[in-house]
Structure formats: structure tokens, C-alpha cells
Structure 1
């Protein structure tokens, strides 16, 4: 299991990123659970958990309105599979990593592939 947290994204872009991951892997969220804006104009963090499996369905590139900051946290294998799946749909720029004994965290910047 791995957690994906999205920031700096529009509601539509967050839904797009989660839609790509939902197509590839099982998640803790129902299909109709879409990101919702919170009142008050504060920064929003959207998160969901995914269970990256050995076999997944790659997607074609998908456009985003802007760039999205994504943090992936989980086991090494789970984070690597999530990153690979995101790389099929978006341009991925790795911003940083933190490694532990059993888990790692990767910060990514996602954008439309050109």
C-alpha cells in the first residue's frame, strides 16, 4: 500500500491524476469519490491510498491544466510502481526523495507530456 498526496493542483487536475492511478491500481476510494474544493481559499491536499500490483494497465498521456505536486509514500516497490504508472501518463520531474529502512518518500512534479 502507498499513499499519494497531491498539492498545488486544481480540482480537475487532482481528479485526472487519481483517475490515472485508479485505472492502474486498486484504491481505498470508491470510483465516484472525486476531489472536492474546500471553502475558505486555503491550500488543499488531496490524498488516496493505492495498492500497486505487479500487473497494471498503462495509460496514454493525459493533459493537465497546470503542474501538480505529488508525494508518494510507501514501500520501495509500491512507490516505484506508482511512479512508473504516473510516468506513462505525465511528464514527471523528481523533486526529492527520502529513504528509510522499509519505506521511501518521493516528491514529484507532474505536468502534461509534450
Structure 2
């Protein structure tokens, strides 16, 4: 994978059916290195298809700090692949997950299988969950 951050963040088209899908989870990584963003997104990419087809971290230059974004489709056809053997982090990573409750829980379970995960905040609505996690090496 390319180790350079990309400034390719874009908004999701509200008319796109996938944007409101309970299987789509938006992932935001905050204040971490490119290598750590790459590691976390690679772990998620082993199990779930990236919504954009682009597995590289996307740097959001409009954010006040270093932020990377990704979106994953967490459907029934999730990959049953082994996690990457090298999934260690240089530091802690704050991850925000936003999407349907079942899909967010599946992403959290995948992260828990690779890293030490602490829930640092959550909010639930009727059809969507926001979950804030802190990841460190397991």
C-alpha cells in the first residue's frame, strides 16, 4: 500500500442507496500516523469491502487535525479472511464508527480481534449508532 496520505475525501451522494444502507459504516480515524491509519483500515479491509473500492487511508485536510476516513460495506458476504499478521500500532488510535447497529457491532468485533479496544463514547438513534473507540496494541 502507498504510505502517502491522500486528500481524496468526498461526501457521499445522498441519492446513493448505499449511503442509507444499514450495512454501510463510516469510519473516522483521528490524530494518528499514516502507518496506524493504514494498519486499522487494512484490518477492516480483510473482512469487509471498502465502499469506494479504495483501501488506502484518505486524509481529510479540512479537519483541524490529522484525520483519515473510510467506509465499509458490512453485509452477509463479509470476508472470512485471516487478519494481517502485522497489525501493531505505533500509538493509540481514536476511531469513530457510524452506521447501523449490527454493522457497527461487527466492525467493533473485528477491531477487538486485532487490537485492545476501549469504548470511549457512544450514542444511539432509531436506526444508527455512533461509537467512539480507543485502539492500542493487544
- TM-score grouping bracket, smaller chain normalisation: 0.7 to 0.9
Larger radius of gyration, structure 1 or 2?
2
Q: Deviations over 1:21-43 (max 9, x none)?
A: 01110002424x345596xxx51
Residues 61 and 88 in structure 1, CA contact (< 8 A), matched pair in contact too: no
**CA deviation digits over 1:59-88, x for unaligned, max 9?**
267210000000000000110000001011
Number of paired residues? Answer: 109
Tell me the equivalent position of 2:127: 102
Structure 1: gaps of 5 or more residues: none
* TM-score for both structures, normalised by structure 2: 0.71
Give secondary structure in 2 for the equivalent of 1:14.
Answer: helix
Q: Residues 19, 100 of structure 1: CA spacing in aligned structure 2 closer, same or farther, 3 A cutoff? A: same
Tell me, yes or no, if structure 1 residue 17 matches structure 2 residue 40: yes
State the TM-score, normalized to the length of structure 1: 0.85
Partner of 1:6: 29
In angstroms, what is the RMSD of aligned CA positions? 1.9
TM-aligned CA deviation for residue 56 of structure 1: 3.6
Structure 2: gaps spanning 5 or more residues = 1-23
Who is 2:17 aligned against? none
